[in-house]
Structure formats: C-alpha cells, structure tokens
A and B are shown apart, each in its own frame.
Chain A
C-alpha cells in the first residue's frame, strides 16, 4: 500500500464547475496535510494546508480533512482553465520532517 494515494486522472471538468480532488494516506498518526499545484515544467506551488479535521477555505479552494477515514480532499469552486495542472497531495507523517507526496492528479478544466 502506498503511503499517499491519489487517482492519477485526468479529471476533466467544465469551466465554472467544482473540481473535487481526493487523497488517502496510510499513516494514522499524520498531523499535517498539504495540497500543491504543479504546472507542466514548473515547480510545486503550495496552495493549501490543513492540520485539523473539518474544512478550511481560502478563496475558491477548500481543503477537507477526515483523520478517522485517513482522507483529505481539495475542492476548487468555479474552476478556470488556468486551474489545469497536476495537484499533489502531501502528508507529514508521524515523527517525520519531510513530506510524503502522492503521485498527483491531473486536472483539466475545459473552456
């Protein structure tokens, strides 16, 4: 079982729709969860982080964390073509300083 799992996609949504990206993790003691956006040929860009169960909203982005289910998600409202990228889920595991990344979900927003 991979430590951090994501559906590779592509996830295709029409412009203006809500894109829902999901991630599961295996280390039950993990405390910190991150979403990075990576455009092709570019570096990962931190867009959201969440440490507590529940929802955290920042503009069009909402991160959701359910530690009991070991599940973290990212919702992107009013999706724009410029949101088309690979979204990486990252988890800081128990006693670890480095992040463990999922393989990423490629999102395509159709104009």
Chain B
C-alpha cells in the first residue's frame, strides 16, 4: 500500500493557467507538508497543516493556496502559473510529536 500518494505525477501546462496537485496519506499522521525542489535539487518547505490547521506558511507567493479537507489530505492550488514555478513538488507527512517525515513520489510541474 502506498503510504503517501500524489496526483498527478507529471503536469505540463502553459503560463497563466491554474492547476492543482493532490496528496493523500494513509499513515495515520496528523501533519502534512508541501515542499518544493528546484532544478538545483534544493528542497524547501512551503506549507504545513496539522489537523487541517495551517501551521507553516513560508514566504511563498499568494498564487499558491494549500487546502486540507481532513488530516489525511492536503492539496495545493496554484493560480496564474509562471515559468519559475517549474519544479518538483513533494508532499510529506509526520506525526506532530515526531519529526520524522515521509515523502510522496512528487509531482513534476513544467510551465511552458
């Protein structure tokens, strides 16, 4: 069984479009994260939710809006996509009392 899953795996779209990425975890964790990994492979936190509550909101353009309908799901909606948004987006999850995070397979976003 997949522990942390993401859809879609690949996303190719044009500048100015709006797109969403979905994440689900079946580990029973209460905290979920979105990370961005750029072309230089640097992995950086974007957002985190604990039990549907936003607890981390790093300096990210407000074109990015996360939503957590329940503690097992975390989605990321991106408006007005720009070339610089091209990256791999990883979802991760953990228990709030534990710092050990487990990553999903990633969504490779390409903006043309």
Contacts and interface: CB of A to CB of B under 8 A. Distances in A.
A32 B97 CA distance: 12
B106 interface: yes
Interface stretch (B14-22, B43-51, B72-80): B43-51
Contacts of B27: none
Given A46-B102, A98-B33, A103 B90 contact: no
9 contacts: A34-B100, A38-B41, A44-B90, A49-B100, A97-B48, A97-B56, A99-B45, A100-B45, A103-B42
A101 interface: yes
Interface in A29-74: 31-32, 34, 36, 38, 42-46, 49
Contact of A43 (B40, B44, B103): B103
A79 interface: no
Interface size class of A (residues with CB under 8 A): 20 to 34
Interface size class of B (residues with CB under 8 A): 20 to 34
A101 B44 contact: yes
Contacts of B101: 34, 46, 99
Nearest to A98: B45
The interface residues of chain A, by DSSP majority, are classed as strand
B43 A88 contact: yes
Interface of A: 31-32, 34, 36, 38, 42-46, 49, 86, 88, 92, 97-101, 103-104
Contacts of B104: 43
B68 interface: no
A101 B43 contact: yes
B91 to A, nearest CB: 9
Nearest to B94: A97
Given A98-B48, A99-B45, A42 B105 contact: yes
Nearest to A44: B103
